[in-house]
């Protein structure tokens, strides 16, 4: 028996790799049809292929979440292919390393356009579709330990993830009574291409070990561990859970 009810449809943004890929695979394994959405077409198609090879159902839809036109089309295509959308995993995101005084406006704007505007746009179009088709739903916004605490050199990223948690709370207040639950997941450092880039930018061969040691659990997390939390939040087992900011961070913010 699968964790999710039959015939559910889940959109995962940033589903081409990392946490988004692991999440897409787990949703499919737990019985959902999956729309894998990303700007990386070949890696996104690879995620779809992995799902299909395991006997699941998935489609790739190219979408830059910073673009309102792309997001509107992605949701429209999901409805035209599957007739509904039940879950949105608002996962696409980027990092940028710079102190507040050294940060360029173009980097700040680019990061905000994906990590904040993109999250809002996806919620806007998916919630409208859920309301129009009269189905209940679940939205998971991908935040971070950086949505709960600051981290030097990650000002724009920290700002965006705190903002994501704010959007989560407001969406939960505005739409829980419609049957649409919204929650944030705040991972610690997870072994994905993003953490490889971050460690490389720290310019220190020990960077990944140092990041791992900052978690009380003593290691980095895996994308699969984050996917487990996301799928649970979207399942009926979490039917009273909305407006929550979940830490899945190996104990980072407990310190
Ligand atoms: N890896 C970590 O340690 C960590 C920790 C906390 C939170 N997160 C968050 O989890 C999410 C996924 O991170 P990850 O580690 O898997 O990163 P990743 O870089 O491995 O994957 C991110 C995916 O998002 C896609 N993407 C980027 N910009 C996009 C856009 N404009 N439109 C559509 N897709 C876009 C990328 O192409 C990529 O496939 C991000 O929101 C990230 O901030 C990651």
pLDDT digits (tens, 9 = 90+) for 12-25: 999 999 999 999 99
Q: Is 3.40.50.720 the CATH classification of the domain at 9-190+222-248?
A: yes
Domain ranges of the chain: 9-190+222-248
Q: Is 51 in the pocket of ligand 1 (CB under 6 A)?
A: no
CB-side exposure of 212: number of CA atoms within 13 Å?
11
Pairwise CA distance, residues 168 & 123, whole Å: 9
Q: What is the mean pLDDT of residues 141-168?
A: 98
124, pLDDT greater than 90: yes
Q: Is 195 in the pocket of ligand 1 (CB under 6 A)?
A: yes
The per-residue b/e assignment along 163-174, b for 16 or more CB within 10 angstroms, e otherwise, is bbbebbbebbee
User: Alpha helices, DSSP H only, in the chain?
Assistant: 18-29, 41-53, 68-82, 105-112, 119-133, 155-175, 193-201, 207-213, 223-234
Residue nearest to ligand 1 atom 38, measured at CA: 14
203, pLDDT greater than 90: no
Q: Fill in the DSSP letter of residue 113.
A: I
Residue nearest to ligand 1 atom 8, measured at CA: 144
151 in catalytic set: no
**Position in ligand 1 atom list of the atom nearest CA 64:** 32
Contact indicator for 143, 186 with CB cutoff of 8 Å: yes
Q: So what's the pLDDT on residue 201?
A: 87
Q: Is 39 in the pocket of ligand 1 (CB under 6 A)?
A: yes
> Tens of pLDDT along 36-80?
999 999 999 999 999 999 999 999 999 999 999 999 999 999 999
Contact indicator for 143, 184 with CB cutoff of 8 Å: yes
Q: Is 20 in the pocket of ligand 1 (CB under 6 A)?
A: yes
Q: What is the mean pLDDT of residues 228-232?
A: 98
């Amino acid at each position: 028996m699968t964790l999710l009810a039959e015939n559910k449809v889940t959109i995962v943004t940033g589903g081409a790799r990392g946490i988004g890929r692991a999440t897409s695979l787990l949703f499919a394994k737990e019985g959902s049809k999956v729309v894998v959405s990303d700007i990386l077409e070949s890696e996104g198609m690879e995620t779809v292929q992995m799902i299909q090879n395991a006997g699941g159902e998935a489609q790739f839809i190219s979408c830059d979440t910073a673009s309102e036109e792309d997001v509107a089309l992605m949701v429209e295509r999901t409805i035209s292919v599957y007739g509904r959308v039940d879950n949105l995993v608002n996962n696409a995101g980027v990092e940028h390393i710079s102190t507040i005084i050294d940060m360029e406006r173009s980097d700040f704007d680019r990061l905000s356009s994906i990590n904040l505007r993109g999250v809002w746009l996806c919620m806007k179009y998916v919630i409208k579709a859920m309301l129009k088709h009269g189905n209940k739903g679940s939205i998971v916004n991908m935040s971070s330990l950086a949505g709960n605490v600051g981290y030097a050199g990650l000002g724009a990223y920290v700002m965006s993830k705190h903002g994501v948690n704010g959007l989560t709370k407001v969406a939960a207040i505005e739409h829980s009574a419609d049957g649409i639950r919204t929650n944030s997941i705040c991972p610690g450092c997870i072994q994905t291409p993003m953490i490889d880039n971050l460690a490389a930018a720290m310019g220190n061969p020990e960077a990944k070990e140092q990041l791992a040691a900052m978690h009380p659990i003593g290691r980095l997390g895996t994308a699969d561990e984050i996917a487990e939390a996301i799928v649970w939040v979207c399942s009926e087992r979490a039917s009273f859970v909305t407006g929550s900011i979940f830490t899945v961070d190996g104990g980072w913010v407990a310190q």
